[in-house]
Structure 1
Amino acid sequence: MSHSRAVAALAGLFLTALPSFAEPVTPVLTRWAKEVTPQNVHPEYPRPQMTRGRWQNLNGQWDYALVDKDAPSPASYDGKILVPFPIEAPLSGVRKHPTDQQRLWYRRSFSVPAAWKGEHVLLHFGAVDWDAEVFVNGKRLGEHKGGYDGFSFDVTDALKPGENELKVGVYDPTNSGEQPVGKQDNDPHFIVYTATSGIWQTVWLEPVAKSYISDLAMTPDIDKSVLRLTVKAAGGNPPSSVKITVLDGAKTVAVMSGAANASLAIPIPKAHLWSPSDPHLYQLKVALQSGSVRSDAVESYFAMRKISLGKDAKGITRMFVNNQYLFEVGVLDQGFWPDGEYTAPTDGAMENDIATAKRLGFNMIRKHVKVEPERWYYWADRLGMLVWQDMPTAGHRTPESKTQFETELDRMVEGRGNHPSVIMWVLFNEGSDYDVPRLVDHVRALDPSRLIDNASGWNDHGVGDVIDTHNYTRPKAPAPEEHRAAVAGEFGGLGMLIPGHLWGDPKNNWGYGNMADSAAFGKGYAHLMHIAYGYQDDPGLSAAVYTQLTDVEIENSGLMTYDREIVKPDLHIAQLANRGEFPTEPKVTDIVATSETHPAEWRYTTTDHPAPANWFAPDFDDAGWKSAPAPFGNGGAQNTKWSDTPGDIWMRRTVTLPADLPATLMFSAYYDEDMEIYINGVLAASAPGFTSDYVAVPMTDAGRKAIVPGKNVLAVHCGQKGGGQFIDVGIIAPQSSPSVHK
């Protein structure tokens, strides 16, 4: 397979909803893009677990400028940008990527409503990537470093009557810096994608009293039927108490008063538990008061649910939800959008991603090395989707970068820790790990109510709650341990190219294999899930995560196209497979077994010694070739290494066949890429492209007629242009085929 870089120049599309903006350049848009205007961009209150009725949304058109990173704020600006879309995104109206020598400046004006007079005004940012300085009317309010967490400033003392000027300066070196970046890259290619710089979540104002509720910390305890709640107060001497009201719909469940900044245990009798099949939420009202005088009030929600490890009836360590084992059928989600990059075009678009995963039959999403806006988790909470939350990856090349990583790790755990959907923290993904036992203990101390994955793929350090393996395409299962469950954190990645829904040149799009149509995709998907479900009992798999929910740029391995327009596999087959229901797979008889379980010797040569024109002839002298067991490949489950570089391999093997053979024969082959097979010098099969597992390849009539009783020569040629390499071949017969006598 060929893993080329995305082309730099892509087809241009004009967004009529943004007529004043420069024409963005993108190959595909989602259907929600046409709903976006400067007047209605992300109008929802952005913090659903701590809402206030009065607020002012600052999303919309801002001025922007790109200047030297050491230059002061500019006197003039380059144009308009639509906040909160990152400057690289088509929906921003700009689509530029700042270099590590530039700083991005934003500017807009705002007026504070007259009704807020005498109150304190807070300025909130959902997230800015990465290092942000904030000024109001020329007064520097402060600086925040962190690309995924929200932050606020009290702007009261900087305000003036009438219009106020807000400026934000942002420096974002992306992967040339030291901060956590996840899958962002200054040079997007292969499995890394277009970077996000600047403001990428909602910006808003809201009035509060001098003493106000700054945060809530909620932990359910279903075993004791209580919600543990801390109401954090800020802004001066906090009032003496908080009043808490819990509702289940219109019914009041509990009313309690207690101290601010203290952990309170609120009884929830006969708790209605939250689960993927029944995502029940309670409503919460919190008031901050001194005596009978109320200074602040917020509304929220929570759920009663428990995440833990336990032993099943066979004594296997499992992941439990509400004290019961639930096989977690998950899908990897990168959280990128063709029109918004890190920012979904609308709230409904975010909901649709989770709802589609639910409709496909998944009960879990692994949010891959990205932290989403709070409203994404709100939809996961409401729809009943378990979430494994990854920490965005970073290079960890210096002590400073480790400090920043750990600072943002703490903010992720604290900032998303109230959401019932989040059930596990994933600290590291495929390397970049350090001090893992220490960090597992640190996160455990921050949040003992959830599980911890110490490292998903590659490097396991023997700590945390799960042991997690990655394998493509078929899943592999580690053995569970006494105190750790076994999970397959990544597998799959089946590809299917759909013209009109691709990012750039189709030649640059890649996935593991290329499914011909929806039925073939569904069959391939069901086959992989069948393997995963088979690992439940042996060795004892607790969860399986398929890669991935959507295509992302040139990575064409999604269950949906990048524009979310097409679900690739047959929906019914995928739903059944995710429930563990599978069609009966046709049985076959091995005529010549592959080397998958019993390695067979082949004579072979590679590009270093190209084969002559008659290499496939029965009487060809292959005595000068090497001899080794198949499969041949590099970096996978091969028995013999093929090559470190792209090239070709030629293989020969003599097999003895009986006279009594079925009329219909096929090849069982796993190839990467462009395979041809000869029998006794006759071309018996030709298969372009590559596969990600063993597949049945039809045998030509000429090839079938060339088989003789006794000795037969199998000759195979396979090329390899880039990426993976693998080749193994056998002969099979469908069990229902009638036998013939030769």
Structure 2
Amino acid sequence: MRSIINLDGVWNAAEGTLKEVPSDFAHSVPVPGLLDMASPAFAEIGLQSTLREAFWVRREFDLDREPAPLSLLRIGKARYGTKVILNGVEIGEHRPNHTVGEFDLGGALRRGRNELLVRLGPWRDDEPTSVPDGRDIESYLAVPGIYDSVELVLADYPYIDVVKTAPDLDAGSVRVSARLRAGAEPAVFTLDAVVSEVSSGVERGTASSGQLALAPHETREVEFEVTLGSPRPWSPEDPFLYVLRLDTPADSRTVRFGMRSFTFDKASGHALLNGRRYPMRGSASAIFRFFEDPDRGDRPWDPAWVRKLHRRFKAMHWNTIRYAIGFPPAFWYDIADEEGLLVIDEFPLFYIYLADDAPAVEAALALDPSVRSYGLRSITAGQARTTEPARTEWPAALTADALETEFSEWVEGHCNHPSVVMWSSNCEGRSPETGVLVERIRKLDPQRRPWGDGWNPPPTDSDPYVAHWYLQWNAAMRGEPTGLGMLSGMRKSAIGYPLGGAPEELLPHLRTPNKDFDGVPVNTGGNAVFLEEYGWLWLTRDGKPTRLTEPVYESLEGWPVATADQRRYTRARLTAAETEFFRCNRTLAGLLLFCALTSSHDRVSTADAFTDLDSLDYEPHFLEYVRDAFAPVALMVDVWNRELAGGVFHEVPVTAINDLPDDWSGELAVRVRDAGTGTVISEQRRAIRIPALGQERVYFGLTTVIPDGEHQIVAELTDGDGYSVRSLRDVRVVSG
């Protein structure tokens, strides 16, 4: 039967040429890991350098038995370009940088001592233009290494190559698809299946393929169903897992899966989990950007740290995480399955229109004020300046044909994870090639998950329109203030207008409320809208603006930004208010704040809100305000103007929402308090009931004339069980 030998650990490393194996492996490096973890350290690592043409890593291991009829080396993920040599025999190359490289060791493996050599390219720009290299225009380091586990698989024929599961909650069964391979001899056998609960080990169902006959070297797909009776659905609230075991007379394979369904419904604009509306709330984890963090260390490969990270995500009331612009190590997906997070799985392609000089910026702005120009530091009327040249356009060599192999490996490798509910072909790109590719690859996923396709139109009605909406950046580029006032005029507008793209291209795919925001928004037209990014307010962990947020903080009016603590407070309050706005409009299937995990250094473009990577503590202002904005039962003070007229009575509208499947009852209080002393000037309370997955709109007519000065309007929802969430607005009351 199959046996697996793990080859992770400390390997030897060296730098040298592409063709010659170095004579001296004087460095050591962890596998999985990156080569910036080598000891002693390599110079100029992660940057283009003339010091080497290639890196080489070596591992010796002992095999205490004769090699099996089928001996495979599996390298989880490695970059850039992988070549394998075993015992002096060149085995082969795996050019993709983000999927499993599988190498048939043939007769090169032997009993006793074996020497394994792996050659890696030193820099992403050395890759052929037809190979995705994971480039990210908001990142500058590209550190090579074997960044996922390495294992030796010893098996016999008939061999179980690929297993895919498709749960059917209505039928109480799971459809199993298995790719089987015969060896040099014909094989007559049955493929047997057993499904058990992971937590208890209790067997829940069995099935058999019936008798199969494979000719020599034949590969065949086999499908059949296993009935489970009354299965327990998987969800973020109850991440219940099953394990499928498949057996041939000579091989055995297990995969975990969950019984769940997921779709986007065009008619309602909602995401549906297990057949019920499920509002998605979350953020993103940009693992490749985190790779360049100077304090990263070995954390991405520490299961305890990664589990804690996902629990910290859930502590923010997030039920969804986007693995953005790159795949983390495989065990991250296992942890997402176990902890209960929906995952948007995004291929690392990030190519976007960029302007490279001031005239181009001005021309782009004249055509479309929302177009992004990276490197832009400031823009005023008639003037723009950039700090670095741009990389533009979708590479002509990245065709559907060129990408198909790696996309196939990706989808077939990740398709059993119940946490993965959506694929994303790229970030913010526009190319007909990905649309062609999505339709080819969709059939490889038996669960037919929806796809995002960058800034292309949604491929089908069942796919969402993916929006990136950065209000602050757009305003800063136009030389306008970037406070909350920009939301005042947007309450009746389409939700989902993305950064970049002309309106005439996008309007057919958007959803708009067909009533005033003061009424009940009803979705009309277009695909479901998934707000995948917003929040352009990033600060480094020491509280400094990033290179992309400097213009925003320079243009903020009425908000304190002089010190690190003030900027953190401002970020938290603005992010919370914007989150409330998007959620309470109720036209979105989901929304993800960018970004929950990324990097922090002087050249960084985006940043997360952690203050310490060991403790994974959130910045206190962020935790206090943003967490409430993502609560399943939440609210919004619908006041956006910084100044209110003095000497008059005011009405305060409050919208309360409920993402839970049951009605929620409690109390809604609205207070006006002096911003300096905290003295409550006015307070009103009302009982409130918010229907399941619904919304309530309440108006508070203040019975007190608020005196001139700085004040806060605070709305709070509470119940008898200690639940409490707030929404706050800072206002300045001015008479005359």
For the aligned pair, the TM-score class normalised by the smaller chain equals: 0.5 to 0.7
Describe the shift of the 1:459–1:310 C-alpha distance in structure 2 as closer, same or farther (beyond 3 A): closer
Describe the shift of the 1:89–1:490 C-alpha distance in structure 2 as closer, same or farther (beyond 3 A): farther
Cα distance in structure 2, aligned partners of 1:342 and 1:412: 24
Partner of residue 25, structure 1 = none
Describe the shift of the 1:409–1:250 C-alpha distance in structure 2 as closer, same or farther (beyond 3 A): closer
Partner of residue 469, structure 1 = 467
Partner of residue 664, structure 1 = 709
**Contact 1:529–1:578 under 8 Å retained in 2:** yes
Describe the shift of the 1:111–1:541 C-alpha distance in structure 2 as closer, same or farther (beyond 3 A): closer
Q: Following superposition of structure 1 onto structure 2, how do residues 525-544 of structure 1 map, counting pairs within 5 Å?
A: 525-536=575-586, 540-544=587-591
Which AA in structure 1 matches 2:286? Answer: Q
Q: Quick check: 1:566 aligned with 2:617?
A: yes
Cα distance in structure 2, aligned partners of 1:139 and 1:194: 33
Question: How far did residue 129 of structure 1 move?
Answer: 1.1
Cα distance in structure 1, aligned partners of 2:311 and 2:531: 23
Partner of residue 32, structure 2 = 84
Deviations 1:419-455 (A, max 9, x none): 1111111122112523344233223323363443443
Which AA in structure 2 matches 1:559? Answer: A
Q: Quick check: 1:306 aligned with 2:306?
A: no
Deviations 1:233-252 (A, max 9, x none): 33514551111111122322
Match of 2:597, SS state, is coil
Counterpart among 354, 362, 368 of residue 324 in structure 2: 368
Deviations 1:51-98 (A, max 9, x none): x984332222323222234x3223333522222212135789546236
Partner of residue 516, structure 1 = 565
**Contact 1:551–1:557 under 8 Å retained in 2:** yes
Cα distance in structure 1, aligned partners of 2:253 and 2:534: 42
Describe the shift of the 1:247–1:483 C-alpha distance in structure 2 as closer, same or farther (beyond 3 A): farther
Question: How far did residue 586 of structure 1 move?
Answer: 9.2
Q: Quick check: 1:358 aligned with 2:314?
A: yes
Match of 1:468, SS state, is strand
Q: Quick check: 1:180 aligned with 2:132?
A: yes
Partner of residue 42, structure 1 = none
Q: CA RMSD in A?
A: 3.6
> What is the TM-score with the length of structure 1 in the denominator?
0.65
Question: How far did residue 100 of structure 1 move?
Answer: 7.5
Describe the shift of the 1:64–1:666 C-alpha distance in structure 2 as closer, same or farther (beyond 3 A): same
Q: Which has the higher contact order (CA 8 A, sep 6+)?
A: 1
Describe the shift of the 1:423–1:205 C-alpha distance in structure 2 as closer, same or farther (beyond 3 A): same
Task: Single out whichever of 464-473 and 525-534 deviates more from structure 2.
Answer: 464-473
Match of 1:276, SS state, is coil
Question: How far did residue 394 of structure 1 move?
Answer: 5.7
Question: How far did residue 546 of structure 1 move?
Answer: 0.3
Q: Quick check: 1:557 aligned with 2:637?
A: no
Q: Quick check: 1:211 aligned with 2:158?
A: yes
Question: How far did residue 126 of structure 1 move?
Answer: 0.5
Describe the shift of the 1:533–1:400 C-alpha distance in structure 2 as closer, same or farther (beyond 3 A): closer
Partner of residue 428, structure 1 = 426
Question: How far did residue 275 of structure 1 move?
Answer: 0.9
Cα distance in structure 2, aligned partners of 1:520 and 1:162: 63
Describe the shift of the 1:466–1:490 C-alpha distance in structure 2 as closer, same or farther (beyond 3 A): same
Q: Quick check: 1:386 aligned with 2:342?
A: yes
* Structure 1: gaps of 5 or more residues: 1-51, 186-190, 290-294, 593-659, 668-693, 697-731
Which AA in structure 1 matches 2:534? Answer: F
Describe the shift of the 1:473–1:94 C-alpha distance in structure 2 as closer, same or farther (beyond 3 A): farther
Cα distance in structure 1, aligned partners of 2:540 and 2:94: 42
Task: Single out whichever of 575-584 and 427-436 deviates more from structure 2.
Answer: 575-584
Match of 2:534, SS state, is strand
**Contact 2:36–2:143 under 8 Å retained in 1:** yes
**Contact 1:485–1:542 under 8 Å retained in 2:** yes
Cα distance in structure 2, aligned partners of 1:149 and 1:462: 24
Partner of residue 304, structure 2 = 348
Partner of residue 32, structure 1 = none
Q: Following superposition of structure 1 onto structure 2, how do residues 4-23 of structure 1 map, counting pairs within 5 Å?
A: none
**Contact 1:437–1:463 under 8 Å retained in 2:** no
Counterpart among 575, 580, 601 of residue 627 in structure 2: 575
Describe the shift of the 1:589–1:417 C-alpha distance in structure 2 as closer, same or farther (beyond 3 A): same
Q: Quick check: 1:128 aligned with 2:78?
A: yes
Describe the shift of the 1:168–1:306 C-alpha distance in structure 2 as closer, same or farther (beyond 3 A): same
Cα distance in structure 2, aligned partners of 1:342 and 1:579: 32
Cα distance in structure 1, aligned partners of 2:308 and 2:182: 38
Cα distance in structure 2, aligned partners of 1:273 and 1:91: 47
Match of 1:55, SS state, is strand
Cα distance in structure 2, aligned partners of 1:326 and 1:573: 23
**Contact 1:493–1:557 under 8 Å retained in 2:** no
Question: How far did residue 355 of structure 1 move?
Answer: 1.4
Match of 2:93, SS state, is strand
> What is the TM-score with the length of structure 2 in the denominator?
0.66
Match of 2:326, SS state, is coil
Deviations 1:267-290 (A, max 9, x none): 12112111111111112222112x
Cα distance in structure 1, aligned partners of 2:273 and 2:24: 56
**Contact 2:469–2:496 under 8 Å retained in 1:** no
Cα distance in structure 2, aligned partners of 1:471 and 1:138: 54
Describe the shift of the 1:542–1:584 C-alpha distance in structure 2 as closer, same or farther (beyond 3 A): closer
Describe the shift of the 1:461–1:542 C-alpha distance in structure 2 as closer, same or farther (beyond 3 A): closer
**Contact 2:157–2:251 under 8 Å retained in 1:** no
Cα distance in structure 2, aligned partners of 1:258 and 1:403: 34
Describe the shift of the 1:470–1:234 C-alpha distance in structure 2 as closer, same or farther (beyond 3 A): same
Describe the shift of the 1:364–1:266 C-alpha distance in structure 2 as closer, same or farther (beyond 3 A): same
Q: Quick check: 1:733 aligned with 2:693?
A: no
**Contact 1:196–1:341 under 8 Å retained in 2:** no
Deviations 1:377-421 (A, max 9, x none): 111111110011111106642336653333222221111111111
Q: Quick check: 1:460 aligned with 2:408?
A: no
Partner of residue 665, structure 2 = none
Cα distance in structure 1, aligned partners of 2:234 and 2:7: 35
**Contact 1:533–1:580 under 8 Å retained in 2:** no
Describe the shift of the 1:581–1:325 C-alpha distance in structure 2 as closer, same or farther (beyond 3 A): closer
* Structure 2: gaps of 5 or more residues: 213-220, 352-393, 473-486, 488-494, 498-509, 512-523, 554-560, 647-704, 713-727
Q: Following superposition of structure 1 onto structure 2, how do residues 154-193 of structure 1 map, counting pairs within 5 Å?
A: 154-171=104-121, 173-175=123-125, 177=127, 178=129, 179-184=131-136, 191-193=138-140
Match of 1:405, SS state, is helix
Question: How far did residue 357 of structure 1 move?
Answer: 0.6
Question: How far did residue 695 of structure 1 move?
Answer: 8.8
Counterpart among 238, 252, 257 of residue 203 in structure 2: 252
Counterpart among 268, 275, 278 of residue 228 in structure 2: 268
Structure number with the higher helix fraction is 2
Cα distance in structure 1, aligned partners of 2:611 and 2:153: 39
Match of 1:411, SS state, is helix
Cα distance in structure 2, aligned partners of 1:410 and 1:174: 22
Quote the sequence identity (%). 21
Cα distance in structure 1, aligned partners of 2:548 and 2:452: 32
Describe the shift of the 1:436–1:53 C-alpha distance in structure 2 as closer, same or farther (beyond 3 A): closer
Cα distance in structure 2, aligned partners of 1:386 and 1:509: 29
Describe the shift of the 1:167–1:113 C-alpha distance in structure 2 as closer, same or farther (beyond 3 A): closer
Which AA in structure 1 matches 2:87? Answer: N
Which AA in structure 1 matches 2:246? Answer: V
Counterpart among 141, 149, 153 of residue 103 in structure 2: 153
Which AA in structure 1 matches 2:533? Answer: E
Cα distance in structure 2, aligned partners of 1:53 and 1:241: 17
Describe the shift of the 1:556–1:490 C-alpha distance in structure 2 as closer, same or farther (beyond 3 A): closer
Cα distance in structure 1, aligned partners of 2:406 and 2:297: 21
Which AA in structure 1 matches 2:134? Answer: G
Deviations 1:576-622 (A, max 9, x none): 32125446749675349xxxxxxxxxxxxxxxxxxxxxxxxxxxxxx
Match of 1:106, SS state, is strand
